[in-house]
Amino acid sequence: MQREGERNLNRSFRPSAAPADYEARITNVLCPLLAAHDVLLDLHSFQSAGEAFAMIGPRDNREALEPFQRAREEGQLALHLGTPCVVEGWLDIYAAGIEQRGLPLTDEALAYGWGTNEYMRSQGGYAVTLECGQHGDPAAPVVAHRAIHAALQTLGMVDQAAPLVPKPRLLKLVSAVDRNAPGDRLLREWATFDAVQQGQAIAMREGGSVLVAPGDGYIVFPNAQAALGTEWYYFAVDSDRVL
């Protein structure tokens, strides 16, 4: 299975008057469908080893980056999907990454970080991403199937009570590191949610400089094969948010 066609569908996800590639044409079909509904459960898998988790959007706010007023509903849906972890902070660190690359934080640049969830929120709905596990994990489809049923129950769309699940831990993405050169390499085969301590070596640049953990936290989405100029791994910390 190939993740992308001409580009990543979960980038620049918004309608286009002149779609330039296959993904843009698909986006023009999907956007009206999403805008006509209230809730999205977005199913994904990831490249590295690691356990399944849910991703949610911002807390309620009226700021320019991603204004939102349905955080409680979104959090309740995430709580019932049965994953051991929930992660927040995607668009915040995407914006920080633009500035880190020395680029202007324009609306066009920021829109590249939009996926289906960001578009759903912009249309008044709410959305949760379920990362079902590693691409080839045979358990991932089971995680997805269970979560779909849990979502239907939580939303009152089937005549069953929402499942009782253990409270997940909540993490916040705080930074993303790009892979800049062919010789950039991770210092071990990291898995999503591997814990690291402040100062622990994570990766080495082609020129020999070592990248270390900026504090106690967790590695998220490590990708040894990341394309140059794209996200190589993320760093997350425990969140103080209450769902």
Residues in Cβ contact with 188 at an 8 Å cutoff, skipping those fewer than 6 apart: none
Sheet holding 210-212, edge to edge: 185-186, 201-204, 210-212
How far is CA 143 from each of CA 81, 87, 117, 179, 184, rounded to the nearest angstrom? Answer: 9, 17, 20, 30, 33
Residues in Cβ contact with 76 at an 8 Å cutoff, skipping those fewer than 6 apart: 154, 243
According to the model, what pLDDT value does residue 69 have? 97
Alpha-carbon distance of 48 to 223, in angstroms, equals 6
Residue 201 DSSP label: E
Angle at 104 between CA 126 and CA 220, to 5 degrees: 50
Q: Please give the CATH architecture assigned to the domain spanning 174-238.
A: Beta Barrel (2.40)
According to the model, what pLDDT value does residue 3 have? 56
**Taking the model in full, what pTM does it have?**
0.87
Over residues 155-198, the pLDDT tens digits come to 999 988 877 788 899 999 999 999 999 999 999 999 999 999 99
Over residues 25-83, the pLDDT tens digits come to 999 999 999 999 999 999 998 877 788 999 999 999 999 889 999 999 999 999 999 99
- Please tell me the CATH superfamily of domain 8-167, with its number: Zn peptidases (3.40.630.10)
Angle at 169 between CA 217 and CA 165, to 5 degrees: 160
- Every domain of the chain and the residues it spans: 8-167, 174-238
According to the model, what pLDDT value does residue 194 have? 96
Q: What percent of the chain has pLDDT over 90?
A: 69
Return mean pLDDT, the chain. Answer: 91
pLDDT band at 1 (very low <50, low <70, confident <90, very high): very low
pLDDT band at 97 (very low <50, low <70, confident <90, very high): confident
